[in-house]
Amino acid sequence: MTTATAIVAGHGLALRRSLPLPNPPGRPTSVSLSARSLPHARQRMIVPASRPCRSRCLSISSENSIAASAAADTAEEEADPESYVDEEVEEEVDTQAEVCYLDPDADPEAIREWELDFCSRPILDERGKKVWELVVCDATLSLQFTRYFPNNAINSVTLRDALASVSEALGVPMPDRVRFFRSQMQTIITRACGELGVKAVPSRRCVSLLLWLEERYEAVYRRHPGFQAGTRPLLALDNPFPTTLPENLFGDKWAFVQLPFSAVREEVESLERRYAFGAGLDLDLLGFEIDDSTLVPGVAVESSRAKPLAAWMNGLEICAMEADTGRASLILSAGVSTRYIYSGYQKTPAATQEAEAWEAAKKACGGLHFLAIQENLNSDGCVGFWLLLDLPPPPV
């Protein structure tokens, strides 16, 4: 056994103990870490109130209850006239209205990626059939759009025309890429996007969309007159058994590591200029309330071919990593339904305890974790850095 120090992007992370873990090629390294409890609450997103949708709309419907509850939670705002406006808006929520919103401060030309969901909702129409809905947004929620459809109009042509209407109604160009997270809709979405010259990307890195759907379930769907309680999602998310990792994705070593939340934020803010490979998350939008000194768990991977490895990983739409103590393996999730056994380790009580501690630390940070690829675990920088987040499947 040996000891080492892993340096992630210039921040020293002391590996207090290392274990040899069998995984070709090389002998991966693991590290024990202590899970730290902390108060954590994700702030709910606040969006404008509902108004009729018009050409180049700058309004959004049905989520105003969030703004009203935020006003009610703040005692000092009770005397503020705006808080009374929010409360009045909540009473006037039209759950059947559609959303058409563009942040007036946003640059339309800068919105080059959309997130999309096209699926049935737990709502019945006048025919007693499930209503379908298109939900579109960008990662910052500067763009938000919804439209309902009858279940007998679900095809790629309907979706293509609806996506084109988003661009026309809001005065924004068609995006370069559209992410979606339901594998069952891949054929329809890919065909519709292809006819518009847009690349369809299957990915669970639709964090803003997933959180918005969660909010719409409470603020809109449950209040809709056609809501059907207890209805299961028609298109549930896949969670297949993990498969063998392709050879080109193997690293030489890996280690459980930790990084202060303040340093994680710095890495995300400097991601574009510092690394050629990686992906961040909008921590402000997600509303994480974590102390700057709180240690965020992650996985550091060492490779003698770090750049090619990072390039391959960059095309996978990595969304999460998991320590599976039952299989004594590290699981990498990517795309919408891909899971790889990234590494195995010796199933000993000590190794199991380390893996459980890493998962507990991740849970204490609200599911936040990261993956860093380095040329050497003792180096002072990364070739790639991915900020990851565990999210439960949406209720719809």
Can you give the pLDDT at residue 357? 96
DSSP string, 285-299: HHT----TTPEEEEE
Burial 130-142 (b: 16+ CB within 10 A, else e): bbbbbbbbbbebb
Tens of pLDDT, residue by residue over 126-141, are 999 999 999 999 999 9
Mean pLDDT of 229-250: 81
Mean pLDDT of 99-122: 96
pLDDT of 45 strictly over 80: no
Give 186 or 76, the one with higher predicted confidence: 186
Least confident piece of the model among 215-219, 255-259, 272-276: 272-276
Q: What is the rounded CA–CA span in Å between residue 179 and residue 253?
A: 31
Across the strands, what pairs with 318? 334
Can you give the pLDDT at residue 147? 97
Place of tokens 């507990």: 360
pLDDT of 384 strictly over 70: yes
For residue 54, what are its two tokens? 């018009």
Residue type for position 111: I
Burial 147-181 (b: 16+ CB within 10 A, else e): bebeeeeeebebbbebbeebbebbebebbeebbbb
For residue 139, what are its two tokens? 């990662």
Q: For residue 136, report the phi and psi dihedrals to the nearest 5 degrees.
A: -130, 140
Domains of the chain in start order, with CATH, are: 100-223 (3.30.420.10), 243-389 (no CATH)
pLDDT of 85 strictly over 80: no
Mean pLDDT of 92-120: 92
Tens of pLDDT, residue by residue over 271-310, are 877 767 999 998 888 888 889 999 999 999 999 999 999 9
Q: What is the rounded CA–CA span in Å between residue 144 and residue 142?
A: 7
Q: What is the rounded CA–CA span in Å between residue 358 and residue 343?
A: 15
